[in-house]
A and B are shown apart, each in its own frame.
Chain A
């Protein structure tokens, strides 16, 4: 005995009915014919003439066309049939008025396309978190000098400042540093590699961020000069070979031993570029300071305590007042974002409005066309189409537009983003 619940059975049987529609109908025809013939035989046994027997049989069975129609409707074949018909009809209508179709699809494609393109940007820049442990607790520490009404931010700190912060602060559980190297001279096996992004990091960068290498290990504080290679570069340059570990890569004339491969989704803490190589050595130049708030410590508390420590360090000339700034870093650092947040948001609203206008335009066009098709609708009603049936047809037709536009848009979008 089967344990499938009843509604599941019904859906399954309807689904089967849809898939093997022709076979089911043929079989039912056959079943009904047998039934009719048996009734004819019975009537013949009672002594009726062949013609009378058939008439009598039909009277007792009921009209086969009606029985067949009821059967089809009951099997649910009917509903899917009707939908398929509507779809076919809608597509035919699209073909028949190509200019109209192109106009509507193009305006929708532009409206939707602009929105998705902009949304991917907003998503990257404003919404997505960097793939590290407790990304929402990360802050960037900056010091700002206020001079003559200008704000001059200092966002790179020398190694001693890091040491001092690590030993004296009570607000942060971990502090890491990184800095992009401008136009690095990279060489692998004596061959120069152009156009790669290299990031100088503090030795605890991977461990304290909570980024576990895909392969190999993270740098240790005891390492003299080691590097972690990005997953993407590892794939293209070393074809994903494990032999990459132990290879030497030279950056600015200094050799670094590759000890690990970063996980594929990790591109560094800045979202303005994707890092290819993270180098780690004991002595470094100034680095951006990224810290993770201890549990329970608020932004404001961390800000006050950092202010005190940094002032004590006196990194900026003493004649200007300074203030400490903590920026949320969980979504990655970005100069683009700082500069473009407002315009980007404004643009988002604008593009949404464009889509709204597009919809209004298309709506108007469709209304006009529907008015022009009143004749057709009248004929349909006269032929016995129900209100629901007409509504469904209209809906199916309307749904064709966004599908078409989306198709157009995605091909266009893929073209743009590649």
Chain B
């Protein structure tokens, strides 16, 4: 793949939820780093954009945050997923898989027609 993936807003939210569900509490840098690593550095964000996602998720009660100390000994806000967040994650994952399945089927049919 040549270009880095552009990510949709909802997609980023889903990635954040997945990350927090797997890793437990993380700060913004940790979340961004983890997403980059898991995607094999294919998804590159302006790491700052992670915060729009975090604010949105926190306003919806899907994640919560507490203050703690980071590995470089600074005050950092640690985010963790809530029960509502876990439920949302399951539902959204299912949605995403369905969408992905449909998309690949549609795209594949186009390829075989050619």
Please report A residues at the B interface, Cβ cutoff 8 Å: 1-2, 4, 6, 9-10, 13, 27-28, 30-35, 37-39, 41-42, 60-64, 66-67, 70-71, 74-75
Contact = CB atoms under 8 A, between A and B. Distances in A.
B46 A34 contact: no
Nearest to B28: A35
Nearest to A70: B52
Contacts of A2: 61
A74 B52 CA distance: 7
B56 A74 contact: yes
Most chain B C-beta atoms within 10 Å of own C-beta, residue among A10, A35, A39, A64 = A35
B98 interface: no
Contacts of B46: 60-62
Contacts of B21: none
Contacts of B52: 70-71, 74
B99 interface: no
A6 to B, nearest CB: 6
Contacts of A9: 59-61
Contact of A62 (B47, B72, B74, B76): B47
Given A2-B61, A38-B72, A61 B27 contact: no
B109 interface: no
B55 A74 contact: yes
A374 to B, nearest CB: 38
A10 B59 contact: yes
A75 B52 CA distance: 9
Interface in B46-70: 46-49, 51-52, 55-56, 58-61, 70
Given A1-B83, A6-B61, A13-B59, A38 B70 contact: yes
A4 B83 CA distance: 14
3 closest A-B pairs (Cβ-Cβ)? A62-B48, A62-B46, A67-B48
A30 B51 contact: no
8 contacts: A4-B61, A30-B74, A34-B76, A35-B29, A37-B74, A60-B46, A60-B47, A74-B56
Interface residues of B, number: 26
Contacts of B84: 1
Interface of B: 27-29, 33, 46-49, 51-52, 55-56, 58-61, 70-72, 74-77, 82-84
A35 B61 contact: no
B28 A31 contact: yes
Contact of B82 (A1, A28, A62): A1
Contacts of A27: 77
B101 to A, nearest CB: 29
Contacts of A33: 74
Given A6-B60, A10-B59, A34 B48 contact: no
Given A37-B72, A38-B29, A31 B77 contact: yes
A41 B59 contact: no
B20 to A, nearest CB: 16
A34 B49 contact: no
Most chain A C-beta atoms within 10 Å of own C-beta, residue among B27, B46, B51, B84 = B51
Contacts of B56: 74
Contacts of A37: 72, 74
Nearest to A31: B77
A37 B72 CA distance: 8
A377 B75 CA distance: 44
Contacts of B70: 34, 38
A39 B29 contact: yes
A27 B77 CA distance: 9
A35 B59 contact: no
Contacts of A39: 29, 47
A86 B49 CA distance: 30
A41 B51 CA distance: 20
A12 to B, nearest CB: 9
A1 B76 CA distance: 25
Contacts of A41: 72
A75 B56 CA distance: 9
B61 A61 contact: no
Contacts of B28: 31, 35
